[in-house]
């Protein structure tokens, strides 16, 4: 069964217990609804239910802090990164709330040509693209 969403596949901070966080469409919608309010904003995630193999059309990503320390790696459905709803921003919400990390960058070669061209960061690491920066 393939699903639209994202999941962390490697934790660089802890040894990990194999129950990495992730998010499906349903949890993304609940997060969006929560963030429409002023109080009680919640990032809805699942722990351990999603796997790399389940993510549809995966795009690799990394989560880093503002000093450039790599916190974790994961995959996200291409439609979440390149779609109109911009659901990959939920990774940023989760990273800020749970890790205090501020940078999410996506593997350039996993993105469409259009997306690669619109984010040609001259002088930066050409392997990764920061879309929300």
Q: What is the pLDDT of residues 42-85, one digit of tens each?
A: 777 677 678 888 898 999 999 999 999 999 999 999 998 988 88
Is 88 a residue whose pLDDT tops 80?
yes
If pLDDT is split at 50, 70 and 90, which confidence band does 17 have? Answer: low
Residue that is written with structure tokens 């690491």 in the block = 125
Q: Which residues of 55-69 are buried (b: 16+ CB within 10 A; e: fewer)?
A: beebbbbbbbeeeee
- What strands, in cross-sheet order, belong to the sheet with 58-64? 46-47, 21-24, 5-11, 70-77, 58-64, 103-107, 128-130
Strands (E), 12-132: 21-24, 46-47, 58-64, 70-77, 103-107, 128-130
pLDDT single digits (tens) 108-117:
999 988 887 7
C-alpha dihedral, 63 to 93 to 18 to 76, nearest 10°: -70
For residue 72, what pLDDT is reported?
A: 92
Is 38 a residue whose pLDDT tops 90?
no
Q: Which two tokens stand for residue 36?
A: 């429409």
How many whole angstroms separate alpha carbon 126 and alpha carbon 131? 13
């Amino acid at each position: 069964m393939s699903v639209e969403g994202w999941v962390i596949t490697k934790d660089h901070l802890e040894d990990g217990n194999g129950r990495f966080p992730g998010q499906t469409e349903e949890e993304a919608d609940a997060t969006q609804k929560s963030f429409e309010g002023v109080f009680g904003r919640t990032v809805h995630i699942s722990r351990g239910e999603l796997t790399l193999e389940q993510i549809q059309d995966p795009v690799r990503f990394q989560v880093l802090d503002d000093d450039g320390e790599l916190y974790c790696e994961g995959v996200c459905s291409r439609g979440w990164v390149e779609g109109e709803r911009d659901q990959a921003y939920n990774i940023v919400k989760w990273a800020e709330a749970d890790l205090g990390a501020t940078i999410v960058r996506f593997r350039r070669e996993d993105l469409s040509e259009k997306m690669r061209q619109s984010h040609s960061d001259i002088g930066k690491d050409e392997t990764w693209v920061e879309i929300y920066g």
